[in-house]
């Protein structure tokens, strides 16, 4: 049996947010991933050390790995996350720590497309490529520092599920927060 892992990119500096937004948003992303068909979750930290205690609650195991070269770009963090996965992991679901509205159904839908066609599959919202992104093992090589934005991907419409969000500043925090959001 082949396993599916999630790689959460959480290594950024959060300068526009004013504090380590990963510490605030990561528990919501983890909760969403726990409702999706992944066997393990790897969180890639970098600029800020993350709390391990909040990640130890039920569901698939969560591991934190450190990208010492996080400042080189998201691809550097992704390479660290991918290299930490065991040989029996067939694909990685890549998500961002600042996308707290991630839909578990989007993960499932994009994984389904990947299982059918292979390669790289990505959720799309209003026709624009977004997350989650599924990358099969054969496509893990040569990840550039800028990440996989330029790598061709099968787009999987997920408009009906809602975009995961992209929290860059305090003003980006959703006013109509999903159930369970508490700040």
- Residue 174 in any domain: the answer is no
pLDDT in tens, 139-151: 898 887 888 888 8
Residue 65 structure tokens: 């790995």
**Is 56 inside a domain boundary?**
yes
**What CATH code is carried by the domain that includes residue 65?**
3.90.550.10
Domain that holds residue 55: 3-163
Q: Is residue 20 part of a domain?
A: yes
Radius of gyration of the chain (CA): 15
Burial of 31 (0-12, 13-18, 19+ CB in 10 A): middle
pLDDT 10s digits, 104-130: 999 999 999 999 988 899 999 999 999
């Amino acid at each position: 049996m082949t396993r599916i892992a999630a790689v959460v990119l959480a290594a950024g500096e959060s300068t526009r947010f004013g504090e380590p937004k990963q510490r605030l948003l990561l528990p919501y992303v983890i909760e969403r991933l726990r409702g999706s068909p992944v066997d393990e979750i790897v969180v890639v930290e970098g600029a800020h050390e993350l709390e391990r205690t909040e990640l130890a609650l039920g569901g698939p195991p969560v591991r934190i790995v450190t990208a010492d070269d996080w400042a080189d770009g998201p691809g550097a963090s992704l390479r660290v996350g991918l290299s930490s996965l065991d040989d029996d992991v067939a694909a990685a679901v890549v998500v961002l720590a600042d996308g707290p509205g991630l839909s578990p159904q989007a993960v499932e839908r994009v994984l389904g497309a990947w299982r059918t066609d292979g390669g790289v599959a990505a959720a799309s919202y209003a026709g624009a490529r977004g997350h989650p992104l599924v990358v099969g093992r054969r496509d893990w090589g040569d990840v550039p520092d800028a990440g996989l934005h330029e790598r061709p991907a099968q787009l999987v419409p997920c408009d009906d599920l809602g975009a995961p969000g992209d929290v860059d500043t305090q003003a980006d925090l959703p006013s109509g927060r999903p159930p369970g959001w508490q700040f």
